[in-house]
Structure 1
Amino acid sequence: MDLSRATLGIAAGIAGTLFLGYCVYFDQQRRKDPLYKKKIRERRTQNAQHNSSRSRTIGGPLPDMNDHQAMQAFFLQQIQLGEELLAAGDLEAGVEHLGQAVTVCGQTQQLLSVLQQTMPAPIFHLLLKKLPEVSERLRASMRASAGVSLQEEDVE
């Protein structure tokens, strides 16, 4: 019985070594590829473009402030997007969405209390730090959209 365990251990060690050797070999072949660095640069620029376009559209369409259901849907959407982005590692965009949710929330202190208990301290502090900026940007967007709607009514 001990001989079979020893044999099994040796076989597992050899298999692990072979797998590790294959991984090292594959990585070397990948890095030797003349197009490797070009592909990496292209992927990074695509990711940067995607992230910059995503950050430009973070706010999205703002709901009518008088429509309670629309505001509630916007609030829930911002909470969900913020949580998803934080889970994906995009802290800036996640905090931006959570900040928008806090801004439109009717019970700001209770929401901040819940977020403080559920979020890691550094991320919560980042949220508190960015909250005035996000709040002002959201208010400016709401004022701008209200001005556009008033101008459209004047045309008719």
Structure 2
Amino acid sequence: MELSRTTLGIAAGIAGTLFLGYCVYFDQQRRKDPQFKKKLRERRQAAKNISRSSTLGGPLPDMNDHEAMQTFFLQQIQLGEELLAAGNLEAGVEHLGQAVTVCGQTQQLLSVLQQTMPAPIFHMLLKKLPEVSERLRASMKAGGNILQEEDVE
């Protein structure tokens, strides 16, 4: 019986070594491929472009224009999802926070986000929400869109 355990151990060691060699070989092939480097650069450039365009410096909608607010809300949700998918969590959470801030049904939106987002990212959103809300309100006041207390639900 001892011989079979030893043989099994050796076989497992050889199998592990072969698997590791397989992984290293194909990783090297992947890295040598000129298309891989090109695609990697394109992905990084796209992520940079998204994060550059993701600042709050863009035009803010008029709080009295329902259609403009809805468009802004949808843009912020879409941009937040794209940034999260690209791995830029901070900027993605920032945009989702802006969407939550301008949303008329905040509790329902937070409930949906809690169900669809991973818990750590949702908690990051909750922590960032007061900061984003205050920054958005300050930007609206500076832009002439003064947010009144009765406007906030």
TM-score where L is the length of structure 1: 0.61
Q: Which of the pair has the greater relative contact order for Cα pairs under 8 Å at 6+ separation?
A: 2
CA contact (8 A) 2:114 2:122 kept: yes
Aligned amino acid, residue 85 of structure 2: A
1:13-59 CA deviation, whole Å, 9 max, x = no partner? xxxx89x658648969xxxxxxxxxxxxxxxxx8997677445x345
1:138-149 paired onto structure 2 within 5 Å: 138-146=136-144
Counterpart in the other structure of 2:106: 108
- Taking structure 1 as reference, are residues 60 and 110 closer, same or farther at Cα in structure 2, changes over 3 Å only? same
The count of corresponding residues between Structure 1 and Structure 2 is 115
| In 2: Cα distance, 1:94 partner to 1:71 partner | 19
Structure possessing the higher radius of gyration over alpha carbons: 1
Counterpart in the other structure of 1:128: 126
Aligned amino acid, residue 82 of structure 2: E
- Structure 1 or 2: more helix by fraction: 1
- Taking structure 1 as reference, are residues 123 and 67 closer, same or farther at Cα in structure 2, changes over 3 Å only? same
TM-score where L is the length of structure 2: 0.63
1:90-142 CA deviation, whole Å, 9 max, x = no partner? 10110000000000000000000000000000000000000000000000000
CA contact (8 A) 1:95 1:126 kept: yes
Counterpart in the other structure of 2:9: none
Aligned amino acid, residue 134 of structure 1: V
Matched, 1:99 2:97: yes
CA contact (8 A) 1:58 1:93 kept: no
Q: Secondary structure at the match of 1:146?
A: coil
Aligned structure 1 segments of 4 or more residues deviating by more than 3 angstroms: 20-28, 46-55
State the Cα RMSD in Å.
3.3
| In 2: Cα distance, 1:68 partner to 1:22 partner | 54
CA contact (8 A) 2:83 2:92 kept: yes
Structure 2: any 5+ residue segments left out of the alignment?
Answer: 1-20, 33-44, 146-153
1:1-156 paired onto structure 2 within 5 Å: 24=28, 53-54=52-53, 57-146=55-144
